[in-house]
Structure 1
């Protein structure tokens, strides 16, 4: 069922058979090498972290695009979040909440959320001013202008932010395994500690495979939105 769902999602996003077949083959290989359960734990963690990042990050990005004061406050915070080493996120989370899945989820969200905030802000600010003036001329309210004009035109840039958020979350999975997050990160950590070369390589390749699937699907969806935007302008 999971493989069929991923195949359907890949087809809906890309309409390209190579991406669909590549996604299916990658998942079949993961199952063949007995990494399915850890892979599903990792995918569930990534999906939850990405959804939380979107729910929090997109409104913050919108607020930054609409207010210079908000941007001046949030931008330095994002700079700090993006420059701190990923291990540093684990220290306050573990001190406050201990070891487990929820602290790991919080650490991953903090690490992964800056791209969606920045690219939502950038996408909205790059919307053509003439289009905004036209919407004002038609009597659009601020909310109507945001929902019907700015967000649709900024969606390709926002999709790039979603793509980067997913990649950042995946990059944090192995590190979050140090505080008890289950998934592909734990076998990699065990392989490092015990010098199990083969275990580390196979689980690392599984993480790469998941990253490629998410990356190709999200990029394909962003490209479709970009083509739709260009056709709309035409």
Structure 2
């Protein structure tokens, strides 16, 4: 028995066309906001001399982490500059920071709401499962339709791909706050906002930071895919190396991504460790 095929693809494309026709001003505003943020971060990173940026990141790594992280940051960034991949790496960093920042400012409040309302959590959880299991390439299609080619669809697809860990772990962290402490706060007459800011968020901070770390890493993992829709940076260099079969160039660009990923990962891990120390 042959059942008629459900026209799911037609429905999705019809919905996409409706959104494009009716929400164009909203998409233009989002494009302007995201594009301006990426350009602003990239302008600052490019306006400063490379040695100044290296010194700044080395100092941050030394203060937040330990001297080993500071040394690795200095050596790694100097190597990137020596490989003549500095501009591409700063473009990539601007993309990652923008995607991670937007994911965090959306994900943490949504995670807090999920922790407070079980029905919202039950609605959001399947959506997050869908977002994490859908192949990342699929996100590029609607992003291109709504925002054309360039930086913005790359950032949008990175946000969709990277935001679930922040939402999930914020929800988890707040739900793991001991019930005895919450009851004590209620007994002393704390308002919901006071209880959240002074009790739940400080205790849940290590778990939330673990979600932020995963979000940053997932944002970075999307840069090569984002380069397929016009996002510049090291990902575009990798893509060109693949299409031209230049193994050496691809290895150099991949090494720059690895160095950047290790620096960002270790920095967020050190912040997580410090938050655990302060909350214990």
Q: Shorter-normalised TM-score: what interval?
A: over 0.9
Please give the TM-score of this superposition, normalised by the length of structure 1.
Answer: 0.96
**How do 1:36-115 residues align onto structure 2 when only pairs under 5 Å count?**
36-115=86-165
Greater relative contact order (Cα 8 A, min sep 6): structure 1 or 2?
1
Q: Structure 1, residues 186-222: CA drift from partner, whole Å, max 9, x if none?
A: 0100011010000100100110110000001100110
Counterparts of 2:102 and 2:151, CA distance in 1:
15
In the alignment, does 2:254 pair up with 1:204? yes
Contact 1:175 1:185 in 2 (8 A): yes
- Of 3-12 and 76-85, deviating more is 3-12
**Other-structure match for 2:63:** 12
Q: Structure 1, residues 125-144: CA drift from partner, whole Å, max 9, x if none?
A: 00111111111111101110
In the alignment, does 2:54 pair up with 1:3? yes
**Other-structure match for 2:10:** none
Residue among 7, 22, 26 paired with 2:72? 22
Counterparts of 2:138 and 2:60, CA distance in 1:
35
Structure 2: which 5+ runs fail to align?
1-51
Counterparts of 1:24 and 1:109, CA distance in 2:
29
Residue among 158, 163, 168 paired with 1:118? 168
Please give the TM-score of this superposition, normalised by the length of structure 2.
Answer: 0.80
Q: Structure 1, residues 157-191: CA drift from partner, whole Å, max 9, x if none?
A: 01101100000000000000000001000010001
Cα root mean square deviation, aligned: 0.8
Partner SS state of residue 34, structure 1: coil
Counterparts of 2:118 and 2:86, CA distance in 1:
47
Partner SS state of residue 179, structure 1: coil
Contact 1:115 1:165 in 2 (8 A): yes
Q: Structure 1, residues 52-110: CA drift from partner, whole Å, max 9, x if none?
A: 01111101000000000110111110000000011111011112221111111111111
Deviation at 1:11, TM superposition (A): 2.3
Counterparts of 1:142 and 1:12, CA distance in 2:
35
Structure 1: which 5+ runs fail to align?
none
Deviation at 1:8, TM superposition (A): 2.2
Report the number of matched residues: 229
Counterparts of 1:134 and 1:10, CA distance in 2:
38
Counterparts of 1:139 and 1:13, CA distance in 2:
36
Residue among 122, 146, 162 paired with 2:212? 162
Contact 1:63 1:70 in 2 (8 A): yes
Contact 1:13 1:218 in 2 (8 A): no
Counterparts of 1:95 and 1:229, CA distance in 2:
45
User: Hey, which bits of structure 1, 4+ residues long, moved more than 3 A?
Assistant: none
